[in-house]
Each structure stands twice: as structure tokens, then as C-alpha cells.
Chain A
Amino acid sequence: MDDHLTPAQERDALAAELALGLLDGQARSDALRLSLSDPAFAALVAAWEAKLAPLHGEWAHAEPGDGVWSGIERQLAERPAETATAIETRLRRWRAGALLSSAVAAALAFVLITRPVPAPTPAAPQLAVARIESDAAGPLVLARYNQSNGLMQLRIHGFEPGALAPELWVIPEGGAPVSLGQIGHAGEAEMTMPPPHRLLMTDGATLAITMEPVSKTPHPAPSGAAVASGKIITI
């Protein structure tokens, strides 16, 4: 059946479908990934959740068993002390940088240095730049990745210090986000990517940043929408 929806209506309908939970399988994965990498789409999903919110007044209440709270307490007790961040502890070379703006909408640009896999000579690395902006005044992260030795260098600007820390994710095409750990609010950072993660740093994969509670270990999944994202481009 052809409903002649405009592209904007299609996008809004997809946001509604995700908010309502109608999607399954690949369609659901695709929509979840879009909401993670595209703050404007995530805002549409949130708007639909808000429209439908009055229905939350209709749920029948039910009493959970006594074991639920003790299970929650046990899980909280098992969590590591939440102080330093993963990448920060691995990094020794941390320098404070200039804070730019504090706008939530963001820009993230990636610079990738790659070499052919069998690197014949240490020739000048090739350079690629990708820049995706939703707001020129937002936070900006430049990432530079050397495929031959797995070294990722970050230049970070414009995140407000606070209760939440920026966490970096790589999202392979057609896959779920994988945390690369938390990064600082500003400055420069370097990390050597663990070999399993190097395989994810391919052309077309997305790097994204979400704001997460401070944690020493990478989170298994993002808790909110991306504040910045950009595609990896290799040359």
C-alpha cells in the first residue's frame, strides 16, 4: 500500500515506530543505530515518547517479589568504585585544552591516518578528514587513527565538565555500538586500540560520543542519544 509519505513524514513515522516499539529484527537495529548517531532523529523519538506519555497513567500496578530489591543492591555492590575513567587511566599524556562552547548540539570531525596493511616503508601517512556538523558551536572531537599500530589520537574541545563524561563509541555498519571508553572534557589524548577493536575501525563505521555516568570500565551500551558523531573515512 502506498501512502505517499514525504521523506520528512517517513522519518517521523520511523521515529514513532521506534518509540512505540513496533519494529523488530534488522529494522529495529537500524532505527536504534540511527537514533544513536543522529541527534535530530533521537529528538523525534523523544518527542513521540512524550506524546504517548499520558498512556503511562493506565498501567495496572503489580507488586514485585521481595528478592528484586536485594538483587538490585547486590548488583550495585558488585560495581567498581566509580572514580577515574578508562582511557584516562591508560593515558599519561593528558593536557588541558581550551574550552570552546557548551552547546549540546555538536560537531565531531575525524582525521584518520592509515597505511596499506602490508606497510612497505614508513612513508608519509595518508590523511583523510571527515566533518559532520549539526551545530558549528557545539563540542568538537578530532580523531586520528593509525591502522598500522592501532594508535588513536584525540583532540577534544567544548564538553562541559559535570556529572557526566563523554564516552566514545565505534558503531560498525550494521552493528551495535562498542564502547572505546570515556574521554576527557577537553585536551588531547592518545590510546592504543586493543586488537579486537581495531577490526571495527573501517571505512563507513561511525564514531559517536554520548554523555555517560563516570565509570572506570566502558559501558556495555549507551544510555542516551549521541551528542556528536561522524563517519570514519580512510584513504
Chain B
Amino acid sequence: MQWPSGADEARTRLVAALTAVGRGDRAALREVYDMTAAKLFGICLRICGERASAEDVLQTVYIKVWERAGQFDAARASPITWLATIARNGAIDWRRSVAGRAARDTLPEQAAFAVADGAPRADQSLVAAEEGERLHRCLEELEDHTRLCIRAAFFDGSTYAELATRENVPLGTMKSWIRRGLLRLKDCLGDG
């Protein structure tokens, strides 16, 4: 099978594979895995913080993909967004679980903020570039500390309590920063 050259082809091929998974085609699940495992494992690894747990979570993510592929609607969501959302939610579920908390407590402190606010990687091949540009422009309009915290929540799976501790502000202040930031973000995206 020829590897697709452009983003559109990759997307088309992924949609076709996911649709086949929805019909119960296990070979198609392998195809989806081959196309997306590195990305989804990157998500699990970043949020779980260590390989063994991230690999366990990744397995459950593809089992969920197997179960839910029949619900994927290419008209409503991009395939990579659909998959990345399942992976991110799976990793956050693990972080919020008892096992996840215990494992995280033994991890060294992460230099997460530096990573979280780094320049956007150029891995936009499967994500619509135009929407990405608008979201980044709207995020740039937020105050620095608000943007940093929203990005840390997205990429590290941090809770309000963790962000408040990290930024050394009261929990109520952190909630207020982020809630106001998110509502401003919505306004900004809405008028674009």
C-alpha cells in the first residue's frame, strides 16, 4: 500500500479505515493503529508521565476506538481530532484514578510549563490549519498567566488544584483566571 503524500490523502485514508473498524474489521484497526499510535502514545505519555502506564492507557484507547468507531461521523469531526480526544480523555481518566494519583506522586516534578508553552510543533498535517491559526491568535490575546494555565491543563491534564499550587495562587483565583479566559476565548473564536 502506498503511503499518502498529502494531508488530505492521509485524512481520507484514516476516515476509510475508521469506517471499516466501525463495521467490525479488525485488520482496519491495525491500519488505524499504524497511522496514529505514535501520536496517541505521545498524548498518553505526556499526561500519564511514564511509559508503562501510558502503554496500558494506549491499549484501552484502541479498545475504545474499536467499540466506538461506529459512532464516528466524518461530517462532524476530523478523524485525528476524534482519536486524540479519546486518547486525551483516557489519559486524564487514568490520572484522576487512584492508581494514577499514586503513580504521579512518585514522579519527579515536571518542567511542564516550559514545554507546554513552547512554539507550536509543525505537526498540523491532519489538523485544519486555518482553525489552528485562529485558536492560537485568540490564545495570544489572553493574559500570559491565563494562557499558560489553559495550555498546561490541556497538555499536562492538570487540575485547578495542581495549577493553583504550581502558580502559588489561591484556588479561587485560579478558577477565576481560567473561567474568564475560557469565556474570552469563546468570544474571540465566535467573531472570527
| Residue pair A56, B81 in contact (C-beta under 8 Å) | yes
Q: Which residues of B contact A (CB under 8 A)?
A: 22-24, 26, 29-30, 33, 37-39, 41-43, 45-46, 51, 54-55, 58-59, 62-64, 66-68, 70-71, 77-78, 80-81, 84-85, 88-89, 92, 96, 120-121, 123-124, 126-128, 131-132, 134-136, 150-151, 153-155, 157-161, 163, 172-173, 175-176, 178-180, 182-183, 185-186, 189
| Residue pair B63, A57 in contact (C-beta under 8 Å) | no
| Residue pair A60, B80 in contact (C-beta under 8 Å) | no
Alpha-carbon distance between A54 and B127 when the two chains are bound, in angstroms:
6
Alpha-carbon distance between A94 and B89 when the two chains are bound, in angstroms:
38
Min Cβ gap B17→A in Å is 15
| Residue pair B70, A20 in contact (C-beta under 8 Å) | no
Alpha-carbon distance between A55 and B150 when the two chains are bound, in angstroms:
11
Chain A hits for B161, CB < 8 A = 24
Say if the beta carbon of A12 comes within 8 Å of chain B. yes
> Chain B contact residues: over half helix, strand or loop, or mixed?
helix
| Residue pair A72, B62 in contact (C-beta under 8 Å) | yes
Min Cβ gap A209→B in Å is 14
Min Cβ gap A3→B in Å is 6
Chain A hits for B154, CB < 8 A = 20-21, 52, 55
Chain B hits for A9, CB < 8 A = 183
Alpha-carbon distance between A75 and B34 when the two chains are bound, in angstroms:
18
In order of increasing CB-CB distance, the 4 nearest A-B pairs are: A54-B132, A57-B127, A56-B84, A61-B38
Chain A hits for B186, CB < 8 A = 12, 16, 51
| Residue pair B155, A58 in contact (C-beta under 8 Å) | yes
Min Cβ gap B44→A in Å is 8
Say if the beta carbon of A123 comes within 8 Å of chain B. no
Given A22-B178, A223-B64, verify A52-B22 contact (CB < 8 Å): no
Min Cβ gap A136→B in Å is 24
Min Cβ gap A77→B in Å is 9
